[in-house]
Amino acid sequence: MPDGEHGQEQQENTGEVDRRRRRAQFLRELHEAKALRDRVQPRRARAARMRQQMRMRTFRW
């Protein structure tokens, strides 16, 4: 395998690792923001949970 191909493969792997790290960070922050919103607006959060439960009850597998 020539050095050029190996270098490009290494760069792609590094890009993939970086993308996964950024995605994990984003998902952590998103979860944290949702939890904060649920604490700040409990009535709206409860209504959203009820709507989600109704959606799941009426969903046909």
| pLDDT tens digits for range 1-35 | 455 556 666 777 888 999 999 999 999 999 999 99
Q: How many domains does the chain have?
A: 1
Please check the confidence at residue 48 and state whether its pLDDT lies above 60: yes
Model pTM score? 0.55
Q: Where are the alpha helices (DSSP H) in the chain?
A: 3-40, 42-58
Residue 6: per-residue pLDDT: 63
| Residues 47, 12: Cα–Cα separation, whole Å | 44
Q: Which domain holds residue 23?
A: 3-58
